[in-house]
Amino acid sequence: MPEIRYDGATPLEDRAIRQIVGVAMDAPARARSGHSGTAMALAPLGVMLWSRVLRHDPTDPTWFDRDRFVLSCGHASILQYALAHSFGYDVTREDLRSFRQLHSRTPGHPERGVTPTVEVTTGPLGQGVANGVGLAMAERVLRAEYGEDLVDHRTWVIAGDGCLEEGVSHEAASLAGYLGLDRLTVFYDDNHITIDGPTELALRDDPAGRFRAYGWHVIELGERANDLVALEAAVREAVAETTRPSLVVIRSHIGFPSPEMMDTKEAHGNPFSPEAISKVKEMLGLVDEPFVLDDDLPVALLESLAPRREANAAWRTRVTAAGERGTRLLHQVATHAALDHAVAPEPYEAGTKAATRRALQRAIDAFSPHMPGLVAGSADLTENTGVALTGTVAQDVRHPGGRQIHFGIREFAMSASVVGMAHHGGIRPVGSTFFVFSDYARPAVRLAALSEAPALFVYTHDSIGVGEDGPTHQPVEHLMSLRAMPHLHVVRPSDANETLDLVGRVLRARDPAPTALVLSRQDLVVFGGAEATASREGAHRGGYVVREVEGARFTLVATGSEVSLCLAAADELAARGIAVRVAALPCWKCFEDQPTAYRDAVVRRDLPSLAVEAGATLGWARYADEALGIDTFGLSAPGPQVFTALGLVPETVVAHVTRVLNEEP
């Protein structure tokens, strides 16, 4: 039987690697589900990185100035869990045995908030690369603001063939290369295997050449996946690079050292057979029983991390010595860079007209000077979406403190990097684009919602009001699509002043929820009188009565620009002697969080009702008897003409109400 060697490993590291390889087989076998092969092949890299390089402290997993580690190929999650256990984190033998089981702390893919060491929720391939770009961006902005003595860490990402095939990694790598994120290192596990078989079935890329073209520093290690000396040398070379991100290409062999499973597609996603596991354990000198773990190993590895743990203590000393600067940093981290200042933007005058996207810009102008952690940008639409930051420069290698991000036409990478920034801490990130292009961003928004990232996604040009650009640019199904996403707050304000208020509340929140702010391109009438008061008092609750009338016989319910449409229809109906009340639901999730009595008082289901929204009608049955919306695609014409052509005008609403009430003239 061949001798298995891990060149350059210390006796302690060698034990850890072999034990992790065993766990990488045992856990999926017990679960009858999971991915052993990649974790087995990457065990030497993981141990070397965590043992010799990664700046971390298992006794203080959330130490702010720790290095960030991201397993972008999240299907290999057992590698991260086994590393965490081996290095003394709070991941127990029973946690490893419960891999992929109900309510386990070791789920099938890494989930932030479930397992120590998991910085971001990964699984859908490629997004971890973009999350890593966001983490590195956040570190750079904070380092420029507070100095290297307080902020000085790196981001390490392990990615596989699938990650580099997914388009989001291309977008993110291009952005990172332009920005020159030198404290970002991505390890590319080039194992040549996918679920269908060899990567050569569909891939002939030259990843090293591609990343060099993006502006990265590329290190090609070749067949050195089991050589800890070579792996460490590559890492030290990456650390020495001060102008570019680094890609380390490692040719590994999935399932190593299994004679039966190595370099096979079955090693990717199939648990190993008992016979295959026994053979590998015999080759590695392991006890041929599941989950035989050395109790002294975590203790010994934790002791070996003493210099890194001392760095934690030294950092805390420096933070204290920094006085007010250190206090500000800790406060910014603890509050997710919330707005603390009492500043308020100038309100719009009642009766005037303003697009809610313009109101966002007014809010940003007022708040951003008092929010050093506010980082905002757009996918090439900064002026259009209202996220221009005054008093700052654009982020790039020459301006590491720049808080204005030009993401380029990269909606997916923008959104995934915003998630990374949000989870880094100390940053309040905003990413924006036209609402219809949320389609390109949706997978990242979903992971933001799943991991409850304190991120703000701004979507403007929210309806057929986009006008002449036509159906390709007119969102229809998007509102309902995002509302269907658990944990995501989808906010569509009714007028400009409501936008100012809600943006202020979002930015002042110290524990903010992932939020999609959906804003109009076209001007909307600014509320006055009782409607303005109702908005101030009720919009933050997700729903409120805009206009209550005595003897009401009907309720109109709307969001965004259609609230004004319903008010105009109510005025016409009032002139005919028909009393109609109007309710606005700017955020369904916020509204659902309110007491039942409050919700019932707003929507009044005891009265006949109609929902009006320039989008798909699916879902409105929860709040109204019928819905007037758009269940087709839009038209290319000036916005007002499109609204008229599709029946989203007061006359249609008036006709519906009179018909339901048998009040036909």
Is the CB of residue 402 less than 8 Å from the CB of residue 396? yes
Last residue in a domain, options 480, 499, 525: 525
Q: Is residue 245 part of a domain?
A: yes
Residues 146, 616: Cα–Cα separation, whole Å: 47
Residues 381, 400: Cα–Cα separation, whole Å: 22
Q: What is the band of 425 on the pLDDT scale with cuts at 50, 70, 90?
A: very high
Residues 85, 95: Cα–Cα separation, whole Å: 9
Q: What is the band of 399 on the pLDDT scale with cuts at 50, 70, 90?
A: very high
Pairing of strands 524-525, 353-354: antiparallel
Neighbours of 202 (CB within 10 A): 10
- Based on the structure, what is the number of domains in the chain? 3
Q: How many helices (H) and strands (E) does the chain have?
A: 26, 18
Is the CB of residue 520 less than 8 Å from the CB of residue 357? yes
Q: Is residue 320 part of a domain?
A: no
pLDDT at 42: 98
Contacts made by residues 527-534, CB under 8 angstroms, sequence distance 24+:
527/350, 527/494, 527/495, 527/497, 527/498, 528/350, 528/351, 529/350, 531/567, 532/350, 532/497
Tell me the average pLDDT across 592-606. 98
Residues 582, 307: Cα–Cα separation, whole Å: 64
| Encoded tokens for 269 | 């996603």
| pLDDT, tens digit (0-9, with 9 covering 90-100), for 505-518 | 999 999 999 999 99
Is the CB of residue 207 less than 8 Å from the CB of residue 249? yes
Q: Find the CATH number of the domain harbouring 400.
A: 3.40.50.970
Q: Indicate the angle between helix axes 207-214 and 167-179, nearest 10 degrees.
A: 40
| Residues linked to residue 159 through DSSP beta bridges, in sequence order | 188
| Encoded tokens for 529 | 């009188």
pLDDT at 289: 97
511 with 544, same domain: the answer is no
Helices (H), 368-472: 382-385, 411-424, 438-451
CA 440 to chain centre: 13
Residues 626, 629: Cα–Cα separation, whole Å: 10
Nearest to 382, CA basis, from 419, 347, 431, 420: 431
Average pLDDT, the chain: 97
Rg of the chain in Å (alpha carbons) = 28
pLDDT at 106: 98
Buried b vs exposed e over 388-397: b needs ≥16 C-beta within 10 Å?
bbeebeebeb
Residues 612, 626: Cα–Cα separation, whole Å: 9
| Single-letter code of the amino acid located at 129 | V
Q: What is the band of 3 on the pLDDT scale with cuts at 50, 70, 90?
A: confident
CA 576 to chain centre: 50
Nearest to 71, CA basis, from 136, 154, 169, 156: 156
| pLDDT, tens digit (0-9, with 9 covering 90-100), for 56-111 | 999 999 999 999 999 999 999 999 999 999 999 999 999 999 999 999 999 999 99
Q: Is the dihedral of CA 159, 164, 165, 168 positive or negative?
A: positive
435 with 492, same domain: the answer is yes
411 included as an active-site residue: yes
Pairing of strands 428-434, 456-460: parallel
Is the CB of residue 117 less than 8 Å from the CB of residue 84? yes
Backbone torsion region of residue 560, taken as left when φ is above 0, otherwise alpha when ψ lies between -120 and 50, otherwise beta:
left
- Which CA distances in Å does 291 have to 255, 287, 338, 540? 18, 9, 45, 51
Is the CB of residue 129 less than 8 Å from the CB of residue 95? no
| Encoded tokens for 254 | 């999935």
Is the CB of residue 526 less than 8 Å from the CB of residue 362? no
| pLDDT, tens digit (0-9, with 9 covering 90-100), for 89-98 | 999 999 999 9
Q: Is residue 427 part of a domain?
A: yes
3 state SS of 433 = strand
575 with 432, same domain: the answer is no
- DSSP letter, residue 60: S
168 with 232, same domain: the answer is yes
| pLDDT, tens digit (0-9, with 9 covering 90-100), for 112-138 | 999 999 999 999 999 999 999 999 999
126 with 156, same domain: the answer is yes
494 with 553, same domain: the answer is no
241 with 211, same domain: the answer is yes
Residues 253, 628: Cα–Cα separation, whole Å: 58
| pLDDT, tens digit (0-9, with 9 covering 90-100), for 179-219 | 999 999 999 999 999 999 999 999 999 999 999 999 999 99
- Which CA distances in Å does 42 have to 247, 251, 401? 16, 10, 35
Beta carbons within 8 Å of 1's beta carbon, 6+ residues apart: 282, 283
Where is 27: in which H helix or E strand?
helix 11-31
Q: Find the CATH number of the domain harbouring 616.
A: 3.40.50.920
Q: Is residue 521 part of a domain?
A: yes
Beta carbons within 8 Å of 319's beta carbon, 6+ residues apart: 150, 326, 329, 330
Beta strand extents in 150-300 (DSSP E only)? 155-160, 184-189, 217-222, 246-250
| Burial of 3 (C-beta count, 10 Å sphere; 0-12/13-18/19+) | exposed
Place of tokens 């040398």: 233
Q: Is residue 329 part of a domain?
A: no
Q: What is the band of 665 on the pLDDT scale with cuts at 50, 70, 90?
A: low
511 with 600, same domain: the answer is no
Using the predicted structure, report yes or no on whether residue 664 has a pLDDT greater than 90.
no
Range of the domain at 509: 353-525
3 state SS of 584 = strand
491 with 519, same domain: the answer is yes
| pLDDT, tens digit (0-9, with 9 covering 90-100), for 461-508 | 999 999 999 999 999 999 999 999 999 999 999 999 999 999 999 999
In the chain the first and final C-alpha atoms are separated, in Å, by 95
Q: Is residue 67 part of a domain?
A: yes
Residues 433, 357: Cα–Cα separation, whole Å: 11
Using the predicted structure, report yes or no on whether residue 611 has a pLDDT greater than 80.
yes
Catalytic residue among 13, 145, 266, 411: 411
Q: Is residue 47 part of a domain?
A: no
| Single-letter code of the amino acid located at 605 | R
Beta carbons within 8 Å of 132's beta carbon, 6+ residues apart: 68, 70, 72, 155, 156, 157, 172, 184, 186, 420
| pLDDT, tens digit (0-9, with 9 covering 90-100), for 260-272 | 999 999 999 899 9
Q: What is the band of 663 on the pLDDT scale with cuts at 50, 70, 90?
A: confident
Is the CB of residue 458 less than 8 Å from the CB of residue 385? yes
3 state SS of 232 = helix
Q: Is residue 287 part of a domain?
A: yes
517 with 553, same domain: the answer is no
HSE-CB for 494 with a 13 A CA cutoff: 34
Where is 378: in which H helix or E strand?
strand 374-378
406 with 497, same domain: the answer is yes
Tell me the average pLDDT across 338-363. 97
The pLDDT > 90 percentage for the chain reads 98
513 with 561, same domain: the answer is no
| pLDDT, tens digit (0-9, with 9 covering 90-100), for 212-247 | 999 999 999 999 999 999 999 999 999 999 999 999
